[in-house]
Structure 1
Amino acid sequence: MLVLALITLVLHGALTGLFYAFSMSVMPGLNAIDPAQAESAMRSVNQKIQNVWLFLVFIGSPLAALVSGFLADGMAATWFFAAAGVNFVGSFLVTVAINVPMNNALDAGTMAFKDYSPRWTAFNTLRTVACAAGLVLVGLGLTAL
């Protein structure tokens, strides 16, 4: 159980860090260059980020928290279930419902970068906060084991 809980912690930390890096460095960096170049760069990022490592942390975080919740007892289970729920809603659902459709619109050329960047970054920051909250909840679950 402890090993799975630690894996859950690492997955949540990695996902939090990924989203954080985009909001605090990648998007401001893209905002500082020509919009056509920024669009091109973001299209490339959106294509290259879809790999096994992203899916491992993106899908693995809420699933590992859920499994940890089923294997834990008492308050530890509650914390892990809460982490799974916060991650699922704040990361998975926001990504699927908002960020990915915006990525698709940017890729299709139906959304300009000047419209894309502030909205995408705001929702990415929401994902960051949700993942950080999930990370804290996993930590609480670990302390309750």
Structure 2
Amino acid sequence: METARLASLIAATVTMGLVSGLFYGFSVSVMPGLKRTDDRTVIEVMQRINVAILNGWFVLGYIGAFLFTALALALHIPEDGRGVLPPLIAALVCYVVAMGVTNKVNIPLNNVLEKAGPVGRIGDPAAVRRAFEGPWARANVWRTLLCTAAVGFLAWALYLNGQGA
């Protein structure tokens, strides 16, 4: 049982780190880089990213972070008093909130961008960009912060697990 607990904690930390890094990369490079380009470029690039990101590797990290964190929590529940439960609960809560931000803000904005159609046919690309870029980037910062906090909580849980707390 201890091997399963440790393996789930490691898997949760790795997958959460991948998702946190993805969101961080968007926050510090992709969106600031796009901010310096024209409206049509922002729309076209984000439309392409939104298609490209839907792949098995992304799903492994995105869904895996949730499943492995939930599994780690479930496997540690029988060990009352180990001290690992509070950071695991905190990590799971942070990630569920981040997933909520994704589902309520980022995905709907991605869908609106897709429905705008091919960039060459958009009559007012500046309006499409204004409706998308700022709200999407702000929501992404929240996802980044929440996932980074979750990684910190998972690292804390790993430490406590190793201490036999």
Instruction: Name the TM tier (shorter chain).
Output: over 0.9
Output the amino acid matched with 2:88: F
Alignment-derived partner of residue 87 in structure 1: 95
Task: List, as ranges, runs of 4+ consecutive aligned residues in structure 1 with deviation greater than 2 Å.
Answer: none
Could you list the runs of 5+ residues in structure 1 that have no partner in the other structure? none
- 91, 106, 119: which one pairs with 2:135? 119
Could you list the runs of 5+ residues in structure 2 that have no partner in the other structure? 118-126
Alignment-derived partner of residue 109 in structure 2: 102
Q: Which structure is larger by alpha-carbon Rg, 1 or 2? A: 2
> 1:33 Cα shift?
1.1
Alignment-derived partner of residue 42 in structure 2: 38
Alignment-derived partner of residue 128 in structure 1: 144
Which structure is higher in helix share? 1
> 1:95 Cα shift?
0.5
Q: Could you tell me the TM-score, scaled by structure 1's length?
A: 0.93
> 1:126 Cα shift?
0.1
Q: Is the 8 A contact 1:94 1:123 kept in 2?
A: yes
Alignment-derived partner of residue 27 in structure 1: 31
- 65, 69, 89: which one pairs with 2:69? 65
Q: How many residues align?
A: 144
1:17 aligns with 2:33: no
| Distance across 1 between alignment mates of 2:69 and 2:88 | 5
> 1:4 Cα shift?
1.7
| Distance across 1 between alignment mates of 2:29 and 2:131 | 18
Q: Could you tell me the TM-score, scaled by structure 2's length?
A: 0.83
Identity %: 30
